[in-house]
Amino acid sequence: MLEVAMLSTFLDHFGVSVSALSGVLAAREKGLDLFGVLVLAVVTALGGGSVRDMLAGDGAVAWLLAPGIFYTVCTVALVAFFICRWWEPPQTLFQVADALALCFFAVAGTRKGMGLGFAPPVCIALGVITGVAGGILRDTLLGRVPLVFQKHTYFYATAAFFGGLIYTLLRGPLGDHLAIWISISSAILLRLGAIRYRISLPSFTLKSNNDESLG
Amino acid sequence: MLEVAMLSTFLDHFGVSVSALSGVLAAREKGLDLFGVLVLAVVTALGGGSVRDMLAGDGAVAWLLAPGIFYTVCTVALVAFFICRWWEPPQTLFQVADALALCFFAVAGTRKGMGLGFAPPVCIALGVITGVAGGILRDTLLGRVPLVFQKHTYFYATAAFFGGLIYTLLRGPLGDHLAIWISISSAILLRLGAIRYRISLPSFTLKSNNDESLG
Amino acid sequence: MLEVAMLSTFLDHFGVSVSALSGVLAAREKGLDLFGVLVLAVVTALGGGSVRDMLAGDGAVAWLLAPGIFYTVCTVALVAFFICRWWEPPQTLFQVADALALCFFAVAGTRKGMGLGFAPPVCIALGVITGVAGGILRDTLLGRVPLVFQKHTYFYATAAFFGGLIYTLLRGPLGDHLAIWISISSAILLRLGAIRYRISLPSFTLKSNNDESLG
């Protein structure tokens, strides 16, 4: 089990790094200063888990108690702030890394909810919140409608939901360990498949008199 | 007292359904996908109570512990997502239902604050937060200045404030039970009267060089 | 020590008053009504401390338990709503007052974090959050990119960070009392010097095809 804990810690740091990078790239589009970049990185990477922990009311949020991931986020943001002036992460690689982070966090959030004794559907909701709330906060701070609500963001939240659902279904029959890996893997496959084949959820059709049509 | 508890539970589900519907209608204006619609419905319906519970620091927020209203919100959002492509709730009926939900939540939030032992003005503030914060979050996620801050939203927050104020004043002399019904009823009357006669709070005059004047 | 407690209480009320005024002035630009003005004042003045307390998970947020500062904020907002139609606070005086409030709150937030036993870098982050999150929420509610993220906001968050850093460094060798005053004073000097000499953090250069360039 030591290896599992180490892998989980590695995925934690990997996941927040990818999210922090997405915060830095969003901040670049708005011409923010170094502090804005740091805040966007922290909010994107740690916002989802923070909202989950505040809703769950279980004492301080995770990164205050174990600040290692906070240090990782700040370091990534600082380095990326200077590097991303010239360099942009290759899009495909970034999408794969982001899908891994998303699905890992969704299952981790679901597990945390089950550990606190909430009903399974609520745990899945907490998993989705862990996966997507950081990005929603990032977009809201930048004054844009969250990407995750939009049709062309193929199965982003859906993958998070699917990961949590699979985990809650398989945990009983297969045990915690196996349920984690199957749920994360299948959620990643769903997300990457949806990007590849441009599968999206149904959406409301935008009316033509909407201000978005000017953009 | 069984009937009171049943009525309160009914009003809870009724109130979050109306709020969820207002979230779906707002999501429709921006052309969001199904997940965006679900999030908007959840945020609008459960956001006010969640902010109140997080500020009050009294453990997990209500809908995590008693997820019945969360299931109601998701069901309403799913059904409305498909129905609201062709159908829109009649405006007058919707405004009456929304006024009922607003005033019920405002008084319920004030009561929860008093149960936790806060000072009466703080309890009224918690009631107002319960009633209006969901709509503020909905509008913020959609990138628009919250409706409740605007002059043409006749006495929305004012009715919530009034309901909480009447409740705190009457609870001592008349008892909890009677204070609840008088405060909710009078707050609803205030809201509907303000809509009917277009009564609004004083506001700052928008300067002509403001970007809003372009809209 | 009685004098210190009294001075701290005075600075608390002074600080929230200045922040509330900045919320009222922002609300004026958007033509909000009286309730919008009250919410903007409360969010700007009490938002930073509320976010800090919710993240720290230490029971109810401060202004619910000791509502004196809530009453101060509401009073300032009401008075300013009527006065600020004709009168605007002189900019230099306002900037000095705001710098004092910012640096006091940053050090107070850092101290609260240390009292709860978090790691020093996390405490500095809590101090920065206490100082700047209210203004970020204010700007987000008004649909604009937070001022504090922008290059021309000279060393705002940086001064908050600096105050918290100096406090955590000096607290051990010099004691709590002296560390407070040195850290607040030096942070104020940094902020005012940065305004005077237009020193700002490095920032991303805004690309010309950005929507901001249309504004």
**pLDDT at C212 (0 to 100):** 40
Distance from chain centroid for Cα C123? 16
**pLDDT at C1 (0 to 100):** 56
Look at A58 and B57 and tell me if their CB atoms are within 8 Å: no
CA distance A31 to C81: 33
A61: which chain C residues are within 8 Å (Cβ-Cβ)? 55, 57
DSSP 8-state symbol, B84:
T
**pLDDT at B208 (0 to 100):** 47
Look at C204 and A143 and tell me if their CB atoms are within 8 Å: no
Digits of tens for pLDDT over chain A (215 positions)? 567 778 888 888 999 999 999 999 998 888 888 888 999 999 999 999 999 999 999 899 999 999 999 999 999 999 999 998 888 888 888 888 889 999 999 999 999 999 999 999 999 999 999 999 999 999 999 888 888 887 777 788 899 999 999 999 999 999 998 999 999 999 999 999 988 888 877 888 765 444 443 33
Is residue B101 helix, strand or coil? helix
Over its C-alpha atoms, chain B yields an Rg (Å, rounded) of 17
CA distance A44 to A22: 8
Identify whether the C-beta of residue A34 lies closer than 8 Å to the C-beta of residue C203: yes
CA distance A51 to B50: 11
Domain total in chain A: 1
Q: What share of chain B is helix, strand, coil (3-state, %, to 5)?
A: 75, 0, 20
The encoded tokens of residue C18 equal 């200045």
CB burial string B155-179: b at 16+ within 10 A, e below: bbbbbbbbbbbbbbebbeeeeeeeb
Look at A32 and C149 and tell me if their CB atoms are within 8 Å: yes
Look at C31 and B143 and tell me if their CB atoms are within 8 Å: no
> What is the torsional sign of CA B112, B114, B117, B123?
positive
**pLDDT at B46 (0 to 100):** 96
Q: Which residues of C touch A (CB under 8 A)?
A: 54-58, 116, 118-119, 121-122, 125-126, 136, 140, 143-146, 148-151, 153, 156-158, 161, 200-207, 210-212
Residue C185 has pLDDT above 80, yes or no: yes
Name the strand (E) or helix (H) holding B4. Answer: helix B2-29
Distance from chain centroid for Cα B76? 16
Look at B210 and C58 and tell me if their CB atoms are within 8 Å: no
Nearest chain A residue (CA) to C116: A60
**pLDDT at A14 (0 to 100):** 92
CA distance C57 to B77: 31
Residues 6+ apart with CB under 8 A from A73: A16, A17, A19, A20, A41, A42, A45, A46
**pLDDT at B210 (0 to 100):** 43
- The residues pairing with C33 across neighbouring beta strands, listed in sequence order, are B203
Kindly state whether residue B12 falls inside one of the protein's structural domains. Answer: yes
Q: What are phi and psi of A200, to 5 degrees?
A: -135, 165
- pLDDT digits 0-9 by tens, C3-29: 777 888 888 999 999 999 999 999 888
Higher pLDDT, C204 or B162: B162
| Burial class, A203, CB count within 10 angstroms (exposed 0-12 / middle 13-18 / buried 19+) | buried
**pLDDT at C206 (0 to 100):** 63
Kindly state whether residue A215 falls inside one of the protein's structural domains. Answer: no
Least confident of A48-52, B69-73, C191-195: C191-195
**pLDDT at C63 (0 to 100):** 95
- One DSSP character per residue, A12-24 reads HHHHHHHHHHHHH
The average pLDDT across B99-123 equals 95
B39: which chain A residues are within 8 Å (Cβ-Cβ)? 136, 149, 157
C-alpha distance from residue A89 to each of A93, A96, A97 (Å): 7, 12, 11
Kindly state whether residue C14 falls inside one of the protein's structural domains. Answer: yes
Nearest to B35 by CA among B24, B46, B44: B24
Boundaries of domain holding A13? 2-201
Nearest chain B residue (CA) to C30: B206
Kindly state whether residue C150 falls inside one of the protein's structural domains. Answer: yes
CA distance A180 to A159: 14
Confidence bin at C89 (pLDDT 50/70/90): confident
What is the widest separation between alpha-carbon atoms in chain B?
Answer: 58
CA distance B128 to B161: 6
| Burial class, A146, CB count within 10 angstroms (exposed 0-12 / middle 13-18 / buried 19+) | buried
CA distance C207 to B129: 39
**How many residues are there in chain A?**
215
Is residue B175 helix, strand or coil? coil
Residue B215 has pLDDT above 60, yes or no: no
Residue C3, CB half-sphere, CA atoms under 13 Å: how many?
Answer: 1
Identify whether the C-beta of residue C107 lies closer than 8 Å to the C-beta of residue B112: no
Summary mean pLDDT of chain C: 88
Look at A29 and C210 and tell me if their CB atoms are within 8 Å: yes
| Burial class, A185, CB count within 10 angstroms (exposed 0-12 / middle 13-18 / buried 19+) | middle
C-alpha distance from residue C199 to each of A36, C69, C91, C103, C185 (Å): 16, 33, 18, 18, 18
Higher pLDDT, C155 or A215: C155
C32: which chain B residues are within 8 Å (Cβ-Cβ)? 145, 149-150, 203-204
B161: which chain C residues are within 8 Å (Cβ-Cβ)? 35
> What is the torsional sign of CA C137, C141, C147, C149?
positive
The average pLDDT across B68-76 equals 96
Show contacts of C44-47: CB within 8 Å, 24+ apart.
C44/C19, C44/C20, C44/C134, C44/C135, C44/C137, C44/C138, C45/C15, C45/C16, C45/C17, C45/C19, C45/C20, C45/C69, C45/C73, C45/C134, C46/C16, C46/C70, C46/C73, C46/C134, C47/C133, C47/C134, C47/C136, C47/C137, C47/C138
The average pLDDT across B173-194 equals 93
Kindly state whether residue A211 falls inside one of the protein's structural domains. Answer: no
| Interchain CB contacts (distance < 8 Å): A and B | 102
Phi-psi region of A59 (alpha: psi -120 to 50; beta: other; left: phi over 0): left
Summary mean pLDDT of chain B: 88
Q: What are phi and psi of B31, to 5 degrees?
A: 65, 35
Kindly state whether residue A210 falls inside one of the protein's structural domains. Answer: no
Identify whether the C-beta of residue C84 lies closer than 8 Å to the C-beta of residue B82: no
CA distance A96 to A133: 19
**pLDDT at A211 (0 to 100):** 42
CB burial string C164-181: b at 16+ within 10 A, e below: bbbbbebbeeeeeeebbe
Residue C215 has pLDDT above 60, yes or no: no
Look at C36 and B149 and tell me if their CB atoms are within 8 Å: yes
The encoded tokens of residue C201 equal 């953090």
| Burial class, B215, CB count within 10 angstroms (exposed 0-12 / middle 13-18 / buried 19+) | exposed
Distance from CA of A129 to the nearest CA of B (A): 10
Kindly state whether residue C71 falls inside one of the protein's structural domains. Answer: yes
Identify whether the C-beta of residue B135 lies closer than 8 Å to the C-beta of residue B146: yes
**pLDDT at C3 (0 to 100):** 72
A205: which chain B residues are within 8 Å (Cβ-Cβ)? 31, 85
> According to the 3-state scheme, what is the secondary structure of chain C?
CHHHHHHHHHHHHHHHHHHHHHHHHHHHHCCCEHHHHHHHHHHHHHHHHHHHHHHHCCCCCHHHHCCHHHHHHHHHHHHHHHHCCCCCCCHHHHHHHHHHHHHHHHHHHHHHHHHCCCCHHHHHHHHHHHHHHHHHHHHHHCCCCCHHHCCCCCCHHHHHHHHHHHHHHHHHHHCHHHHHHHHHHHHHHHHHHHHHHCCCCCECCCCCCCHHHHC
Kindly state whether residue C104 falls inside one of the protein's structural domains. Answer: yes
